[in-house]
Structure 1
């Protein structure tokens, strides 16, 4: 996720909270502080407010609402309508036009024209191109891919994922585009990597490296049990933020997630879960953590509990 897209996401979350009927005076003050952080913050919120104003007109007719039995509702009908429409209009996943795509919950194996073998995790999208000069290029828009690149010293295999650049001639590695970070885990051989600032680094088999907000970090020993767990049908988390956990979870189910407060975003998760049972992970989160999960059509709202 780019910095601009992340700001838009945060702006949407502020509007969902402030229109939920739960927002306190402190929440309104915190939103104003967020708005004044920078001109980019103010622009993102203004765009969200303009779209929200348009969506606010899409409500049930008054006669229908009045005819409904009166009961206490935690989330007003206009909020549910607006939240769902916002997601439909703004959260069209990147790479919807890509050459290769998987749906949420789908794991797909692909063999490219050059003989390279790929395994795509759920909700992954990428372009593949081999030009007349033999250059081999992949653009990863979202998701996670295990690459087994066919050896060809003359024609390097280049991958772009966010601000990450990965260049190999033949080896095996895993690329995980997760929010505003990219994670590379090298199983075999070696990989040459760089970022938008021109920093370069060689990463060897048994190492992993991350790009955070586009900046290349230092190599670390490979934690294969966690980084490659999806290939064995598992999700493994070790003290990971709840935002990252839900990023992983959305590869297995289509429901979109919106956080309503910062406290919920910072909660940590540790555990091992089955990849094909996302509901078990949701139950574990709500049981073990002080969070409230509110289900709307196509949307999961996450807030601190108490």
Structure 2
């Protein structure tokens, strides 16, 4: 069992200070007092130390080779051999010290934490419902309403106003409406637009505008707009009903979805498991049920660390 996220953040700060070379005797005494405040504080400190120890193992240099083998041509080979574990350690450090989604909330007009669903009414009367780990900016002027979706997913109920078109930008996606309802899902690479009411104009930087009507969806992949498809509302809009629905989806996509509902970064230590398929229906607010199903039905091993989930083949 790990400590809660607020105590982990405090434990990380103390750990960084104590290992920075700048800690005074007073700092060390204060850190010790903080740790002794409660069993939960002690648990947080132990969790952070556990991960720090793992990083040390990943970055550990190999034992010295026999003198006969220590010739100049092997130097580059040895450095390349250890580039991967050292890079893995660097990734783990970033995942630990930079909480998931932290950058998004710094400047965005509206943002949600993982697991949070929030509704917002804009000045024009439009209503947005944000899924977890979502961030966006909103601007309005005399002739234009505009949303910039940085990452995440939102349901848009756009108030009708023919004099002020409503624009949404998300990665390569460009969307224009005057009044309708639709969902935009942006995972940082691909974008999916799902229209439930009315008609939406979709385009990318190169294609001609494409009209997407009710019960239709379209994807931007590789920065290009793809052909229209029938809307699979049961899966694409499942989060609005409090569900997570997976139909033979790659494990990598499943974990991307789970990062919206839990404060836990995912790192694949074995890339061969990324394409394993997952099928099932789960409660949106119970990501642990998904993890249990993955462990029970797929040849994977999940290692839970504070703020991290390491995935490898079992």
Query: TM-score if structure 2 supplies the norm length?
Result: 0.70
User: Which of 149, 154, 158 is the matching residue for 1:149?
Assistant: 158
Alpha-carbon RMSD across the aligned residues, in angstroms, is 2.5
User: Which of 276, 279, 282 is the matching residue for 1:270?
Assistant: 279
The 8 Å contact of residues 84 and 298 in structure 1, kept in 2 or not, is answered as no
Larger Rg: 2
1: CA distance, partners of 2:169 / 2:112: 18
Name the counterpart of 2:93.
85
| Offset of residue 297 of structure 1 | 1.6
Deviation per CA, 1:179-200: give whole Å up to 9, x if none: 4111111000000011122342
Question: Does residue 109 of structure 2 align to residue 99 of structure 1?
Answer: yes
Aligned to 2:151, the other structure's residue is in SS state strand
Aligned to 2:137, the other structure's residue is in SS state strand
| Offset of residue 19 of structure 1 | 3.6
The 8 Å contact of residues 101 and 113 in structure 2, kept in 1 or not, is answered as no
1: CA distance, partners of 2:59 / 2:245: 33
Cα 1:294/1:180, change in 2 over 3 Å: same
Name the counterpart of 1:219.
228
| Offset of residue 86 of structure 1 | 1.7
Name the counterpart of 2:42.
none
User: Which of 128, 133, 137 is the matching residue for 1:123?
Assistant: 133
Deviation per CA, 1:62-121: give whole Å up to 9, x if none: xxxxxxxxxxxxxxxx95xx5542223596555222000111111111100000011111
| Count of residue pairs brought into register by the alignment | 236
2: CA distance, partners of 1:200 / 1:19: 50
| Offset of residue 146 of structure 1 | 0.4
Name the counterpart of 2:9.
none
Cα 1:105/1:159, change in 2 over 3 Å: same
| Offset of residue 261 of structure 1 | 2.3
The 8 Å contact of residues 139 and 146 in structure 2, kept in 1 or not, is answered as yes
Superposition pairs of residues 143-292 of structure 1, within 5 angstroms? 143-292=152-301
The 8 Å contact of residues 179 and 247 in structure 1, kept in 2 or not, is answered as no
Unaligned runs of 5+ in 2: 1-54, 61-79
The 8 Å contact of residues 190 and 222 in structure 2, kept in 1 or not, is answered as yes
The 8 Å contact of residues 119 and 129 in structure 2, kept in 1 or not, is answered as yes
Deviation per CA, 1:148-206: give whole Å up to 9, x if none: 00001121100000111110000000001124111111000000011122342110101
Cα 1:274/1:113, change in 2 over 3 Å: same
Deviation per CA, 1:264-304: give whole Å up to 9, x if none: 11111111000011111100011111111111221111112
Query: TM-score if structure 1 supplies the norm length?
Result: 0.72
2: CA distance, partners of 1:152 / 1:142: 26
Deviation per CA, 1:109-145: give whole Å up to 9, x if none: 11000000111111110000002x2310000011110
